[in-house]
């Protein structure tokens, strides 16, 4: 019986030593030693700003920290380097910069004024940021809650001695009034046709505007940091560098690039916020 106990203890010791040896031989450090590569630090794939000098788990998501090896870093101090696991985990997606037309839809609200048998005007408010999208001679479609079954055509133009737009913007709202002539007057409310041409009827329009072909960047790629728009450009898979932009007109999905990017650049459109967080931690900001 005594010999059986001794044999059992020896067996436990041997098995335990084997487990320890296997764990060490399959650890990241051992793998790095075998490949001759030095581990710089360990990083969370899902939250790349989480780093440690020891293996462990991410305190946020609980995933194992993965090693970042010497040689994965770059001499560019602004460059953010992510390993393949991090790129996959945060679902980094890119899009190539190119020239295209930009579409911008403006929803405007206003009133029907000077409504008569021969004329009617749609007068609406436009914010300063939308003024570059409008011009004289532009056509739009106007709808009214009081006339739900009809769409009126209108065109931005001068009204008698009044210009097509008020030159003085409102100080409180940074908006001005634009005048569009109803091309098929008058505006008649059902049940009152020919008897009453109501003034100041509520009206609205969705104005779809486009630009000529310009260099564009997806709006999802743009990050506003300290009021300066930036994007992250992919230099190669896993390596991203920030670039400051000068932007022009802002469309529904794309923005006009005036400076900062070249045709063919690849910008990050998904995962860029996490890359930016990593960059700010790296820079000590």
Tell me: pLDDT of 189 over 70: yes
* Confidence grade of residue 6 (pLDDT, cut at 50, 70, 90): very low
Q: Model confidence over 132-143: pLDDT tens digits?
A: 899 999 999 999
Q: From the CA atom positions of the chain, what is the Rg in Å?
A: 32
CA distance 255 to 244: 14
Give the pLDDT confidence score for residue 76 in this predicted structure.
57
CA distance 202 to 209: 23
Exposure string (b/e) for 140-158, b if CB count within 10 Å is 16 or more? Answer: bebebeebeeeebebbbee
Average pLDDT over residues 27-37: 53
The mean pLDDT of the chain is: 83
| Domain segments of the chain as ranges | 1-28, 89-101+213-282, 103-210
Average pLDDT over residues 96-107: 96
Tell me: pLDDT of 12 over 50: no
* Confidence grade of residue 15 (pLDDT, cut at 50, 70, 90): very low
Q: What class is the 103-210 domain?
A: mainly beta
* DSSP code, position 172: T
Alpha-carbon dihedral sign for residues 219, 224, 227, 230: negative
- Non-local CB neighbours of 214 within 8 Å, separated by 6+ positions: 99, 100, 101, 102, 248, 249, 256, 257
The pTM (predicted TM-score) of the whole model is: 0.66
Kindly indicate whether the domain formed by 89-101+213-282 is annotated with CATH number 3.30.465.10. no
* Confidence grade of residue 28 (pLDDT, cut at 50, 70, 90): very low
| Tokens of residue 57, six digits | 């788990």
CA dihedral 188, 189, 194, 195 (to 10 degrees): -130
Give the pLDDT confidence score for residue 224 in this predicted structure.
87
CA distance 203 to 111: 5
Give the pLDDT confidence score for residue 241 in this predicted structure.
92
| Tokens of residue 143, six digits | 């709808």
Question: Could you tell me if 212 and 255 are in contact, meaning their C-beta atoms sit under 8 angstroms apart?
Answer: no
* Confidence grade of residue 256 (pLDDT, cut at 50, 70, 90): very high
Burial of 89 (0-12, 13-18, 19+ CB in 10 A): buried
Residue 245: closest CA among 270, 273, 219, 211: 219
Tell me: pLDDT of 3 over 70: no
Residues of the chain with pLDDT > 90: what percent? 53
| Tokens of residue 146, six digits | 């009081």
CA distance 70 to 39: 6
* Confidence grade of residue 40 (pLDDT, cut at 50, 70, 90): confident
Give the pLDDT confidence score for residue 181 in this predicted structure.
96
Which of helix, strand or coil describes residue 250? Answer: strand
């Amino acid at each position: 019986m005594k010999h059986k106990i001794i044999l059992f203890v020896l067996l436990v010791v041997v098995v335990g030593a084997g487990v320890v040896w296997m764990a060490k031989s399959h650890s990241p450090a051992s793998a790095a030693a075998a490949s001759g590569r030095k581990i710089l630090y360990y990083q969370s794939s899902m939250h790349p700003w989480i780093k440690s000098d020891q293996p462990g788990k991410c305190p946020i998501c609980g995933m194992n920290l993965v090693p970042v090896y010497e040689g994965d870093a770059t001499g560019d101090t602004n460059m953010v380097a992510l390993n393949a696991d991090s790129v996959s985990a945060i679902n980094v997606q890119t899009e190539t910069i190119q020239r295209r037309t930009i579409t911008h839809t403006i929803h405007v609200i206003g009133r029907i004024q000077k409504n008569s048998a021969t004329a009617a005007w749609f007068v609406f408010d436009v914010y300063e940021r939308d003024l570059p999208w409008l011009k004289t001679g532009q056509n739009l479609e106007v709808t009214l809650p009081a006339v739900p079954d009809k769409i009126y055509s209108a065109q931005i133009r001068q009204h008698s001695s009044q210009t097509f737009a008020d030159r003085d913007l409102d100080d409180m709202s940074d908006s001005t009034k634009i005048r569009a002539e109803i091309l098929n007057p008058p505006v008649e409310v059902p049940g009152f046709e020919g008897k009453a041409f109501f003034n100041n009827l509520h009206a609205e329009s969705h104005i779809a505007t486009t630009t000529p072909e310009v260099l564009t960047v997806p709006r999802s790629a743009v990050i506003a940091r300290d009021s300066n728009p930036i994007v992250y450009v992919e230099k190669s898979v896993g390596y991203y560098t920030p670039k400051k932009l000068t932007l022009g007109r802002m469309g529904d999905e794309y923005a006009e690039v005036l400076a900062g990017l070249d045709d063919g650049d690849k910008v990050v459109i998904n995962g860029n916020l996490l890359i930016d967080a990593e960059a700010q931690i790296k820079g000590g900001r």
